Amino acid sequence: MVTKVPPRPARRPHRAHGALRVLLASGVAATSLAVAPGAARAEDDKAGGTTLTVAVSQSIDSLSPFLAQKLTSTSIHRLAYEYLTNYDPKDARTVPGLATEWKPSPDKLTWTYTIRGDSYWSDGTQATAEDAAWTFNKMMTDPNAATANGSFTANFEKVTAPDPQTLVVKLKKPQATMTALDVPIVPKHVWEKVGDFSKFNNDQQFPIVGNGPFVITDYKVDQYIKLKPNRKFWRGAPKFDELVFKYYKDGDAAVAALQKGEVSFVPNLTPAQADALKTQKNIKVNDAPGRRFFALATNPGARSQDGKTFGNGHKALLDPAVRKALFLAVDRTTLVDKVFQGHAVEGEGYIPPRFGSYFWKPDGDQKRRYDPEEAEKVLDAAGYRKNAEGKRVGKDGRPLDFRILCHATDPNDKAVGKYLQEWWGKLGIGLKVECLDSVSDPWTKGDYDLAFDGWSVNPDPDYVLSIHTCGALPATPKDSGATDNFICDEEFDGLYAQQAVEYDTAKRADLVKRMQSRLYDTGYMNVMAYPNALEAYRTDQIASITTMPEAAGNLWGQDGYWSWWSAVPAASAPGAAKDSASAGIWLVVGPAAVVLLGAGVWAARRRRSTADDRE
């Protein structure tokens, strides 16, 4: 990914069951997730001195919403800034965010959003449609500001704010993501002072002005990032007095900190860690279907939109026969059983099975099965013979010795790497596993042969599909693009363009499946598994917390801010539960059960992500 996260998600979080529910011709007036802000703030004030500490293993790539693509970064931006719409924690349907309602014109080329009047920036200034218009226009006019989320505005023709509560977006052609624009809206009065958006990381002055449930108050590279409740948040302030994301390079150290009570929550557990924690007092393990995939990516030849090639990828991987042979020699069943110890589903298509409407899997002759004997035949037929030492060599006499980028903080990468060395070694192919603290630099420079890849998928799959289009390539070798793996295929691009304008959910789902089929056939990526969300938290620190989706969902890397916003400190649980019931907000009974309290609170429910939001 261009940011690869150790525990793969995705580059953008930061998505859930079902196709995108696009609100069409008849128009939509989405009722907000209502809560009594005053009651929630009062409740927060009672819980004096409570801190929720989350252990993370992925570093922050940028605190600028215009640049950030890693899952940790985009997850934090979901806490600090509102998007126009949000996703219902129960079933991922669209619900209001900064916008309370939205309506398309009959030709669906003009979308009008009503901006709420009760959203305030943390410096006291009211958030208005002008902030949203400025955010989108900056992305439309400055390529550097479009680095992370440019795919959402590429089809925008004009964005205006005729009044503080009205945002109007005119499109060049229909766009299916208009209720799933996973773009953090920033305060114009702060960001209009920024000069070079390619260099501004938003990490020098604190607190950072935002209008989400939390305010970023402090940050130290690869140490921590601290947030406080935004007491002006329209949905009500969070109940913990502080939220801290603490960096741990070593997963065992993070687990030890959880056991000691030094941290409240640890995501991305190994199966062994999860099994050990299940017997620990005051610790709850959450094991649920995940929203990410774990893949093997090959370098297709790094290139930029100006036609220049760069990087030092092995040329043999440009041969489809070599890639096919490598993938035929990968036993996905063994990886699920031995590496993930059953806490994963065998991978095939690009979208995880959790997203039922978009889930695709190959069948018949298209499916790649584990067949090392066939892999040998493919290599022989393509002219890659074994020499006297048993090494495969090409026609140029160069041995098939490859490198694979590995996340040093991800034990799954290392474990799978050992299996690949064994399986490919029998074919006469060498593999050097290069584990780095950050794989981003060699990846973006094209200095790799293969890499362990993974992304968190959003309820709407547009973003994770867009990163494989030709338009996502960097403009020049010196620029950074949104591409995951430098893939550029005309047929894939054509299908992407079709799904982007298709409002019929069934037809769009079919196009998305055809895109996955094409990506599968190009043979540049091999999705090996869909890992479960394995995570744990201390019940003596967190009394209740919201999973997403409600039934068997994850806590870390959600499509929204629900987990940390809803978390109730154990010390104040009785009072908090009582107050919550009267205020009409979420009360969580256990990590996988969410109870909706109060009548008439939800009239409508429902990214990237979290351009998850990448991993």
Q: For residue range 504-520, list pLDDT tens digits in order.
A: 999 999 999 999 999 99
Q: What integer is the mean pLDDT of 336-350? A: 96
**CA-to-CA distance for 404 and 451, rounded, in angstroms?**
5
* Cα within 13 Å of Cα(607), Cβ side: 29
Considering only CA atoms, which of 35, 16, 30 is closest in space to residue 84? 30
Instruction: Evaluate whether 410 touches 252 at the Cβ level (below 8 Å).
Output: no
Least confident range of 14-18, 304-308, 324-328, 497-501: 14-18
**CA-to-CA distance for 216 and 227, rounded, in angstroms?**
4
β-pairing, 542-544 vs 533-538, is unpaired
User: Would you place residue 574 in the very low, low, confident or very high pLDDT band (cuts 50, 70, 90)?
Assistant: low
CB atoms inside a 10 Å sphere around CB 158: 14
φ, ψ for residue 46, nearest 5 deg = -70, -30
Question: What are the strands, taking DSSP E only, across 172-329?
Answer: 214-220, 224-229, 242-247, 265-266, 283-288, 292-298
- Residue % of the chain over a pLDDT of 70: 85
Q: For residue range 407-423, list pLDDT tens digits in order.
A: 998 889 999 999 999 99
Amino acid 293: pLDDT: 96
CB atoms inside a 10 Å sphere around CB 261: 13
Q: What one-letter code names the amino acid at 366?
A: Q
The torsion of the CA quartet 491, 13, 268, 445, rounded to 10 degrees, works out to 60
Question: What is the DSSP track for 513-548?
Answer: HHHHHHHHHHTSEEEEEEE-EEEEEETTTEEE---B
Bigger pLDDT: 445 vs 585: 445
Q: What one-letter code names the amino acid at 52?
A: L
**CA-to-CA distance for 359 and 371, rounded, in angstroms?**
25
Residues in contact with 225: Cβ distance below 8 Å, sequence separation at least 6, in sequence order = 60, 63, 76, 216, 218, 219, 244, 245
Q: For residue range 78-96, list pLDDT tens digits in order.
A: 999 999 999 999 989 999 9
Give the largest Cα separation in the chain, rounded: 78
Amino acid 462: pLDDT: 93
Per-residue tokens: 27: 């128009």
Residues in contact with 315: Cβ distance below 8 Å, sequence separation at least 6, in sequence order = none
Q: What integer is the mean pLDDT of 421-426? A: 98
Considering only CA atoms, which of 71, 77, 60 is closest in space to residue 8? 71
Packing angle, helices 37-46 and 573-583, rounded to 10: 170
Instruction: Output the CA–CA distances (angstroms, integers) from residue 241 to 49, 265, 448, 607, in the order listed.
Output: 6, 16, 44, 27
The torsion of the CA quartet 155, 157, 162, 166, rounded to 10 degrees, works out to -10
- Angle of CA points 567, 571, 575, to nearest 5°: 80
* Mean of per-residue pLDDT scores for the chain: 86
Per-residue tokens: 119: 């959203």
Considering only CA atoms, which of 434, 456, 530, 564 is closest in space to residue 89? 564
Helix (H) or strand (E) holding 456: strand 450-456
Q: What integer is the mean pLDDT of 444-460? A: 94
Considering only CA atoms, which of 311, 320, 267, 291 is closest in space to residue 526? 320
Q: What one-letter code names the amino acid at 378?
A: V
Answer yes or no: is pLDDT of 30 > 90. no
Residues in contact with 183: Cβ distance below 8 Å, sequence separation at least 6, in sequence order = 65, 83, 84, 135, 136, 139, 149, 152, 153
Residues in contact with 107: Cβ distance below 8 Å, sequence separation at least 6, in sequence order = none
Amino acid 573: pLDDT: 64
Bigger pLDDT: 208 vs 594: 208
**CA-to-CA distance for 22 and 33, rounded, in angstroms?**
18
Which of 162-166, 463-467, 478-482: highest mean pLDDT? 162-166
Q: For residue range 113-147, list pLDDT tens digits in order.
A: 999 999 999 999 999 999 999 999 999 999 999 99
Q: For residue range 288-319, list pLDDT tens digits in order.
A: 999 999 999 999 999 999 999 999 999 999 99
Question: What is the DSSP track for 370-428?
Answer: --HHHHHHHHHHTT-EE-TTS-EE-TTS-B-EEEEEEETT-HHHHHHHHHHHHHHHTTT
Residues in contact with 374: Cβ distance below 8 Å, sequence separation at least 6, in sequence order = 328
**CA-to-CA distance for 407 and 251, rounded, in angstroms?**
12
Q: For residue range 171-181, list pLDDT tens digits in order.
A: 999 999 999 99
**CA-to-CA distance for 528 and 531, rounded, in angstroms?**
9
**CA-to-CA distance for 262 and 240, rounded, in angstroms?**
16
Amino acid 509: pLDDT: 97
Q: What integer is the mean pLDDT of 256-280? A: 96
Amino acid 550: pLDDT: 82
User: Would you place residue 485 in the very low, low, confident or very high pLDDT band (cuts 50, 70, 90)?
Assistant: very high
DSSP 549: S
Instruction: Output the CA–CA distances (angstroms, integers) from residue 276 to 203, 272, 287, 345, 428, in the order listed.
Output: 37, 6, 13, 22, 39
Question: What is the DSSP track for 157-197?
Answer: EEEEEEETTEEEEEESS--TTTT--------HHHHTT---T
Q: For residue range 392-403, list pLDDT tens digits in order.
A: 998 888 899 999
The torsion of the CA quartet 1, 172, 510, 361, rounded to 10 degrees, works out to -10
Amino acid 480: pLDDT: 79
Place of tokens 């042979």: 325
Per-residue tokens: 533: 């969300």
